Amino acid sequence: MDFSKIKKIKIPYLVSIVFPTGVWALLCAAFGSFLILSRANFEATGTRVIFSATFPSAMILVVLIAFMEYGLLRIIGVKKEKDYIKLLNDNIIDGNIPPGLPSETVKKIFFALVRQPSEGIKIGYKYGVLMIFSTLLIEWIASRQFVNFPIIIISGLISYFLVVLFGSSVAEKSIYPIIKQCRIILTERGEKIEEKRLINLKTKFNYFLFISGLVVVAVFSFIPSINLDIAIFSCVGLVMVVIVNRALSSSIYMAFLEVEDFAKELSKGGKVVFSTGSLNKEIVSLSNSLNRAANEIYASKKELEENYKNIKEKKDELERFYNLTIGRELKMVELKEELKKMKDV
């Protein structure tokens, strides 16, 4: 067998983007299952073994189905995706936009990327509901009792919100370079970009309180006493809060690093354009303001250089005039003195 002819497997762009979220979803599912196992009354239903066996399998299956929706089947040559997913998987190669794409295609890619975080939340909602519903259905079929339904629903909702908050933030961070490429390409081509669905930074900062609230509710509402379970549960919850906090703040941090790099380039005196991959309303507004300021500074610099050139030309002209007129007067004085000496002789 000639292994050199085997094509390298290409992971579709959106699958690579959502992969960390899929891993995080499995971690959150483990977190939720730990909460259920700690608080559910499996002694009354006798379904502990069934839950422990079916829940992980169902979660892995749901994650695989989600990956397929994002284009995982492309690995075996099957392309059955939504239009915006197909657009991104077809036109983003190795994390870059190929050169020469028409401006309209670049715009479509840009708007598809802008909608990706919100679309990801919708997809997460769909599969989150599917996961909770399937768990409830298996519990009911196995026990014909509803005693564990409240803890399953609440644990599922906590896990779902943790997945959504992390997933939307990681997705935004992952598409950051392509968003930036789109803006640079369209700006250089003189195309106007209509910014839509920008996210307010204030809203993002509110996520921190929401996440902390979820963890507090989970800890103090479901764990009755201080024991080893509480210690493990609290540590895992706090680690999750730190990870999500990091994911939420990273894109903001990257945007401000770009502002710093822009300021360094601006100090060199050349024409500079600030482009960002951020989807935050304030950062895009700052980008527009910085570009206006940079254009004004560049125009003022050019005007000063032109004025200096004009002044220098006038100065040189005055010097030539001075040398011409004063030199002639001095020559006349010398001639008069020569005439006077000749008369005296």
- Residue-wise pLDDT for 80-130, tens only, equals 888 889 999 999 988 889 888 999 999 999 988 888 878 888 888 888 898
Regarding whether 215 and 136 lie in a shared domain, the answer is yes
Note the pLDDT tens digit of each residue in 67-81. Answer: 999 999 888 888 888
Question: pTM for this structure?
Answer: 0.67
Decide if 112 contacts 89 (C-beta within 8 A).
no
Average pLDDT of the segment spanning 157-168 = 83
Residue 293 pLDDT level (bands cut at 50, 70, 90) = confident
Domain count, the chain: 2
Decide if 280 contacts 200 (C-beta within 8 A).
yes
Residue 40 pLDDT level (bands cut at 50, 70, 90) = confident
Regarding whether 295 and 230 lie in a shared domain, the answer is no
Residue 203 lies in a domain: yes
Residue 39 has pLDDT above 70, yes or no: yes
> At what angle are helices 13-39 and 201-222 packed, to 10 degrees?
30
Burial, 76: exposed, middle or buried (Cβ in 10 Å; 0-12, 13-18, 19+)?
exposed
Pairwise pLDDT comparison (255 vs 220), residue with the higher score: 255
Note the pLDDT tens digit of each residue in 243-262. Answer: 776 776 777 777 777 777 88
Enclosing domain of residue 324? 280-345
Residue 274 lies in a domain: no
Residue 191 has pLDDT above 70, yes or no: yes
Instruction: Give the other-Cβ count within 10 Å of 274's Cβ.
Output: 21
Regarding whether 145 and 82 lie in a shared domain, the answer is yes
Residue 2 pLDDT level (bands cut at 50, 70, 90) = very low
Residue 223 has pLDDT above 60, yes or no: no
The answer for residues whose C-beta is within 8 angstroms of residue 276's C-beta and 6 or more apart is 179, 180, 183, 255, 258, 283, 284, 287
Regarding whether 207 and 301 lie in a shared domain, the answer is no
Residue 2 lies in a domain: no
